[in-house]
Amino acid sequence: MMRLGWRQFRLQAAVAFGVLVVIAVVLAMTRPHLIYLYDVFAKAQTACASTGDCRDVTINLSQVDKLLELLGTALVAVPALVGAFWGAPLIAREFEAGTHRLAWTQSVTRTRWLASKLAIVGAGSVIATGLLSLMVTWWSSPIDRAHTNRFGSGMFGERNIAPLGYAAFGFALGVVAGLLIRRTLPAMATTLVGCLGIRIAFTYLVRPHLLSPVHKAVALDPDGTGFGSTNSGPPTLFPNPPSMPNAWIYSTHIVDNAGHGLPAQLVASTCPTLGTGLGGGPPPGSGHAVVRIQAPAGVQNALQECVAKIGASYHELLTYQPASRYWVFQWYETAIYVGAALALAGFCFWWIRGRAT
Amino acid sequence: MIEFHLNATSGVAPYLQLVQQVRRALRLGLLSEGDQLPTVKDVVAHLAINPNTVLKAYRELEHSGLVAARAGVGTFVTSTLSDASLAAHGPLRHELQRWFAKARRAGLDDESIEALFQDSFRSLSDEGVA
Amino acid sequence: MTAVLDAQGLGKRYRKQWALRDCTLQVPAGRVVGLVGPNGAGKTTLLHLAVGLLQPSAGSVGVLGARPAENPAQLGRVGFVAQETPLYATLSVADHLKLGEWLNPRWDARAAERRIDQLGLDRKQRAGKLSGGQRAQLALTLAIAKRPELLVLDEPVASLDPLARHEFLQHLMEAVADDGVSVVLSSHLVSDLERVCDYLIVLVGSRVQVAGDVDELLACHHRLIGPRRDAAHLPSDQQVIEASHTDRQSTLLVRSDGPILDPAWTVEQIGLEDLVIAYMRRAG
């Protein structure tokens, strides 16, 4: 049965292999240039650190920008695509063509038939996605080293082992969709939508709660605190989070020792001069954005004085996951997705034994 | 070796048709003692009929003492129906052909010839002669 | 002798509808069984229950003395060709033979190869490109080469032209003559079955109307023609299947084990097709 499963999967495996080879070649060719760009950037950064003004030092990524975008999309899309193109038709196509009536009346049980198909195509899905993730992680390592934001941003799901979990889950979801819906195209569509929805839901609703975040109190930094308003509310202070490479920062608030937030009126009363000289409130049409205004030198000093005054009784409260927990989160998330995939697979076995044709 | 055919519309059961075809072949000297009948598999592959039908026909012929089955080899003819009268077939056939020609010249069509023949033959049999 | 198919009160229900009901049969081994009935009568349901593609809603079914599809050994004893002869369109003829070999421990590779050569099929040809007759022959080859004790065929010749139909039945009968395999095949045409079947099951309206040896059925059913008479006045051992009357004459189809002694009747033999039609009319 394994041989038949492989024979049926041969073409799709060949296509995937071809695509991976092409991607590998492209990545190998562009990586040296990427390393060079980041090298130059790093040197410029160390140079400007001594002069203190690093604002103009940026990296010109335009050449590799497009590729970066593509790879990111690919790794997000691949688990859903694998589910839709390899998982959904696995059983749906047999139902549509009636070939399950041929397969189930040979001398192998349905369970063995299903197990072989799941094993071969499932393994193929996870391996293909794993190879892709490996290549992308390797290729992006200079970028990740420079930007140090692999934990908090959307990139969490595009590196290392997380995509393996997504692939296993996407595949299993596709198989279940095909099994229940019994038509290939609707099953594919359902899988794509389902994968997307569940990924988004998990990322925003579950991932932040996998481990309790750490809270840390930090003194208000006069250089690192801005002034402005949000949602057309009254103007108040906005702290910039400190530099914490590869950590995942949930939020920053200004609170006093008892944990109460900083009221805007206190800012207005402590620093009455701050709002003036800037033409009153925020410019019209600023909407929901936090408006940071580049103030002239005199206003800068007034801002720093204000922060120092307020900093006497208020401090910055940081809620975050430390960088050291990155791999714990990767393993947890992968394990949860793989567990869900196994549960879906178990459902398939149960369904196929009891229900029929 | 003879070859069987089936007439689906004749109203005669298939196995009987096979029996009749063997008997006719025996009468006409197409089959003689020691000849082998077609194997069940060959008949079935040719005519697409149930093997049991062929077996039934062969069993009936065996029952009439005309054939005998040899296990693993086939079914063979053990006696003929033609006997000495086979020699008379030639001249008799000639006479029949002459009679048919006469009937034709008298203006009878095929149906009339057959009806006349069947009727005479039947009354002959009823009289118990031959 | 174990029945090759033993059904007791077998039934299958989909939601509220019974596709098959109260089906009780004991089909002896070594027969070619014809299952005939109109479309939607439950033929496919019965066959799917027999090969384990469906579970019964009521009653039980035994095939060759065991439950259908109970284990790989049981699966290997029954060969099945489904309606429309499903095959893998993208796999070649040779691939299908490999499929048979991989999935069946009792596979007879030489016989399968020989048959494919006899049929003149191109091994590299994809199954999707074969003609209807060629697909049916390939599917039959796959079913026969696994050396089953029972072959179940669901309307195998329904969409074939006369030549393809004849060749298919030739192939099938050869297998029966060779291996003594029992066959159950369904059709909604009696003419397909007449030549090859020696056991008949008539299925109409999800129920079995009549089942038995073809010779016995033909021997015990008679057409009676005579002066106009009420059918209820017949002796009790004569069961009236169908009756039609004109003002002067009655024509009855009667099932009777004993001889018809009443001299008023003209007694006629009845053909298989007429027999089936009478039972179909009776049920409908």
Q: What is the mean pLDDT of residues B88-96?
A: 83
**B41 chain-C contacts, CB cut-off 8 A:** 174, 177-178
Q: How far is C39 from C42, CA to CA, in rounded Å?
A: 8
| Mean pLDDT value of segment C176-198 | 88
Q: Where are the alpha helices (DSSP H) in A52-109?
A: 62-82, 88-97, 100-103
Task: Indicate whether A101 pLDDT > 90.
Answer: yes
The verdict on a CB contact (< 8 Å) between A98 and C82 is yes
- Picking from A4, A98, A101, the nearest residue to C99 by CB comes out as A4
**Pairwise CA distance, residues B66 & B16, whole Å:** 15
Contacts A103 to C, Cβ<8 Å: 103
Residues C277 and C174 both lie in one domain: no
pLDDT mean over C93-116: 92
C13 has which bridge partners? C18
Of C72, C89, C91, the CB nearest to A108: C72
Interface size, chain A vs chain C, as Cβ–Cβ contacts under 8 Å: 75
The answer to whether the CB atoms of C197 and B45 lie below 8 A apart is no
pLDDT recorded at residue C116: 93
Residue range A79-100, pLDDT digits in tens: 999 999 999 999 999 999 999 9
User: What is the distance between the alpha carbons of residues C94 and C121, in angstroms, rounded to a whole number?
Assistant: 10
**Cα B118 from Cα C176, distance rounded (Å):** 42
Q: Which of A61-65, C75-79, C168-172, C273-277 has the lowest mean pLDDT?
A: A61-65
Q: Do C195 and B45 touch (CB under 8 A)?
A: no
Higher pLDDT, C284 or A124: A124
**What pLDDT, in 10s, does the model give residues A21-78?**
998 888 888 888 888 888 887 787 777 777 666 666 666 666 666 777 777 777 888 8
Residues C9 and C133 occupy one common structural domain? yes
Q: What's residue A282's pLDDT?
A: 47
Residues in A closer than 8 angstroms to C75, CB to CB, are 105-109
pLDDT tens for A254-303 read: 887 777 777 777 777 777 766 554 444 444 544 444 555 555 666 677 77
Q: Are residues C51 and C179 in the same domain?
A: yes
In 3D, which of A153, A129, A133 has the Cα closest to residue A79? A129
Where is pLDDT greater, at C168 or C194?
C168
Q: What are phi and psi of A198, to 5 degrees?
A: -70, -40
Q: Which among C161, C183, C205 is the end of a domain? A: C205
Residue C120 and residue C134 in contact, taking contact as beta carbons nearer than 8 Å: no
% of residues, chain A, pLDDT over 90: 32
Highest mean pLDDT among A236-245, A337-346, C254-263: A337-346
With respect to residue C113, please indicate whether it lies within any of the assigned structural domains: yes
The predicted model gives C195-210 an average pLDDT of 91
Mean residue pLDDT of chain C comes to 89
| Farthest-apart Cα atoms in chain C, separation | 68
What is the distance between the terminal CA atoms of chain C, rounded to a whole angstrom? 35
pLDDT tens, residue by residue, C40-55: 888 999 999 999 999 9
pLDDT of res. A298:
66
Query: Measured between alpha carbons, how far apart are the two ends of chain A, in Å?
Result: 20
**Mean pLDDT along residues B94-114:** 89
Contact C79 A3 (CB under 8 A): no
* CA–CA min distance C70, chain A (Å): 9
Residues C28 and C51 both lie in one domain: yes
Q: How many alpha carbons fall within 13 Å on the CB side of residue C80? A: 30
User: Which ipTM value was assigned to this complex?
Assistant: 0.89
- Judged against a pLDDT cut of 80, whether residue B127 lies above it is answered with no
The minimal CB distance from B44 to the residues C31, C166, C174 is found for C174
Query: What is the nearest CA distance from C187 to chain A, expressed in angstroms?
Result: 18
Structure confidence at residue C185 (pLDDT): 93
Q: Which two tokens stand for residue B70?
A: 């040899």
Do C119 and C23 fall within a single domain?
A: yes
Cα A152 to the center of its chain, rounded Å? 8
From the list C51, C88, C102, the residue facing A99 with the nearest CB is C88
Tokens standing for residue C232:
């209820």
pTM over 0.90: no
Q: Tell me which of C205, C225, C250 is where a domain ends.
A: C205
Please give the pLDDT value at position A212: 86
**B–C contact (≥3 CB pairs within 8 Å)?**
yes
Q: Chain C residue closest to A4 (CA)?
A: C99
Torsion of CA A222, A224, A227, A232, to 10 degrees: -150
Of C72, C83, C91, which has the smallest distance from its Cβ to A109's Cβ?
C72
Do both C69 and C187 map to the same domain? yes
**Long-range contacts (CB closer than 8 Å, 24 or more residues apart) made by C104-112:** C104/A106, C104/A107, C104/C76, C104/C145, C104/C146, C105/A107, C105/C72, C105/C76, C106/A107, C106/C76, C106/C146, C106/C147, C107/C145, C107/C146, C107/C147, C108/C145, C108/C146, C108/C147, C109/C145, C111/C144, C111/C145, C112/C141, C112/C142, C112/C145
Residue for token digits 């950590």? A247
Kindly state the average pLDDT of the residues A338-343.
96
Which range of residues forms the domain containing residue C253? Answer: 217-283
State how far the Cα of A190 lies from the Cα of A181, in Å rounded to an integer.
9
Per domain, the residue ranges of chain B are 14-77, 83-126
Q: Can you give the pLDDT at residue A179?
A: 94
Q: How confident is the model at residue A253 (pLDDT cuts 50, 70, 90)?
A: confident
Distance CA C284, CA C280 (A): 6
Nearest by CB: B50 against C166, C178, C196: C196
B interface with C, Cβ–Cβ < 8 A, is: 6, 8, 14, 40-41, 44-53
Q: Does position B29 have pLDDT exceeding 90, yes or no?
A: no
Say whether both C142 and C229 belong to one domain: no
For C76, the closest chain A residue by CA position comes to A107
Q: Which of B6, B8, B50 sits opposite C173 (nearest CB)?
A: B50
Find the CATH number of the domain harbouring C151: 3.40.50.300
Q: Do C155 and B18 meet the contact criterion of CB atoms below 8 Å apart?
A: no
**C92: DSSP letter:** B
Minimum mean pLDDT range among A321-325, C109-113, C164-168:
A321-325
Share in percent of chain A as helix, strand, coil (round to 5): 65, 10, 25
Contact A167, A16 (CB under 8 A): no
What domain count does chain C have? 2
pLDDT band for position C252 (50/70/90)? confident
The strand ranges marked E within chain C are: 3-14, 17-28, 32-36, 58-63, 78-81, 150-153, 182-187, 199-204, 207-213, 221-227, 238-245, 249-256, 266-268
Chain C residues in contact with A1 (beta carbon < 8 A): 102-103
Whole-Å CA distances, C235 to A302, C81, C216? 122, 45, 20
Is residue C70 one of the residues assigned to a domain? yes
CATH code at B14-77: 1.10.10.10
Domain termination residue (choose one: C205, C231, C266): C205
C193 contact A CB<8A: no
Give the A-side interface with C, CB within 8 Å.
Answer: 1, 3-4, 7-8, 97-99, 101-109, 354, 356-357
C172 to chain B: closest CA residue: B48
**Would you say residue C13 has pLDDT above 70?**
yes
Is the per-residue pLDDT at A163 higher than 80? yes
C3-14 and C58-63: which strand pairing? antiparallel
Q: pLDDT category, C1, cuts 50, 70, 90? A: low
Task: List the single best residue of C45, C63, C99, C142 to mutate versus A (max A Cβ within 10 A).
Answer: C99
Assess whether pLDDT exceeds 50 at residue A327: yes
Placement of tokens 């010749």 in the chain: C157
Those residues with Cβ within 8 angstroms of residue A26's Cβ, 6 or more apart along the chain or in another chain:
A67
pLDDT at A281: 45
Res. C70 pLDDT band, cuts 50 70 90: confident
- Dump pLDDT digits (tens) for C130-149: 998 999 999 999 999 999 99
